[in-house]
């Protein structure tokens, strides 16, 4: 039955880019390179309303793990994308998720012209060519930049440039950006990176703080439950700051 469903040509209108590093790609439920396969209710697929753009640029029904063919060199598990989509679907109708995150990547690897950046832009353009309108970029990255003073010193400027470049290349000067302030990383510099993230003051850029969400035993990756919560926090940020107001519906 699923194969029949996924052969339908979908063209969801409301597109969200999921990008950054491993906590966006999802490591919830992954232990020793094996995903436990547990999918919380908040992350269940919805074959009528939530779709994902595959590595081959085709839409299919979205299901965990969303990044399995994007962050393909690592084992992916539950991330924030599905709980985000399920939390907003009643407000925005059909949703297209565009996974782009790759684990272990520093901000400099997402610079304009770099492979990761080019791939993200190409995938976003493919979603637009399917008739979609990009509603927001969800960004969770920075753990890999807690390793040196140089990374700290350049992070804010690099992140602001990334935002400007994405908006310019997609011809969306007001594209909403919802970034996550990191919850883990090298203790020496984590607070400095968080400060840089929260200090970004650009139009249509908001920050969701992951600090306090439960980490796995590796003290780096969010647990499955924490990923569900993060997705809901991202949804709240989107609905509060960027979503159209709920239409008035006549009742009989």
Query: Catalytic: which of 67, 68, 130, 221?
Result: 221
* Structure confidence by residue, pLDDT tens digits, 183-234: 999 999 999 999 999 999 999 999 999 999 999 999 999 999 999 999 999 9
- Of 49, 62, 127, the closest CA to residue 89 belongs to 49
* Structure confidence by residue, pLDDT tens digits, 90-100: 999 899 999 99
Query: Catalytic: which of 22, 83, 144, 184?
Result: 22
Q: Is 171 a catalytic residue?
A: no
Residue 231 tokens, joined: 């997705």
Query: Using 50, 70 and 90 to split pLDDT, how confident is the model at 7?
Result: very low
Q: Is 44 a catalytic residue?
A: no
**Mean pLDDT of the residues in the chain:** 93
Query: Catalytic: which of 2, 36, 153, 218?
Result: 218
- Of 143, 102, 104, the closest CA to residue 19 belongs to 102
What's the pTM value of the predicted model, to 2 decimals? 0.94
Domain range 2-240, CATH class = alpha beta
Q: Is the dihedral of CA 227, 231, 232, 234 positive or negative?
A: positive
pLDDT at 93: 84
Element spanning 232, H or E: helix 224-241
């Amino acid at each position: 039955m699923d194969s029949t469903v996924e052969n339908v040509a979908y063209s969801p209108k409301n597109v969200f880019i999921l990008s950054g590093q491993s906590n966006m790609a999802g490591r919830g439920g992954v232990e020793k390179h094996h995903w436990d396969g547990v999918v919380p209710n908040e992350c269940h697929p919805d074959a009528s309303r939530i779709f994902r753009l595959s590595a081959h640029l085709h839409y299919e029904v979205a299901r965990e793990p969303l990044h399995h063919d994007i962050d393909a060199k690592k084992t992916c598990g539950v991330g924030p994308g599905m709980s985000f989509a399920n939390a907003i679907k009643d407000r925005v109708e059909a949703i297209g998720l565009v996974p782009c995150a790759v684990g272990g990547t520093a901000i400099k690897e997402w610079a304009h012209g770099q492979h990761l950046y080019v791939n993200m832009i190409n995938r976003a353009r493919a979603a637009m060519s399917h008739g979609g309108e990009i509603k927001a970029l969800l960004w969770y990255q920075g753990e890999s930049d807690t390793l040196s003073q140089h990374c700290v010193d350049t992070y804010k400027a690099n992140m602001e440039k990334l935002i400007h470049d994405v908006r310019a290349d997609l011809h969306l000067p007001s594209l909403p950006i919802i970034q996550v302030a990191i919850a883990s990383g090298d203790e020496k510099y984590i607070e400095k990176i968080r400060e840089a993230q929260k200090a970004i003051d650009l139009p249509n850029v908001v920050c969701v703080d992951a600090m306090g969400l439960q980490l796995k035993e590796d003290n780096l990756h969010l647990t499955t439950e924490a990923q569900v919560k993060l997705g809901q926090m991202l949804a709240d940020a989107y609905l509060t700051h960027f979503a159209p107001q709920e239409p008035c519906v006549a009742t009989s």
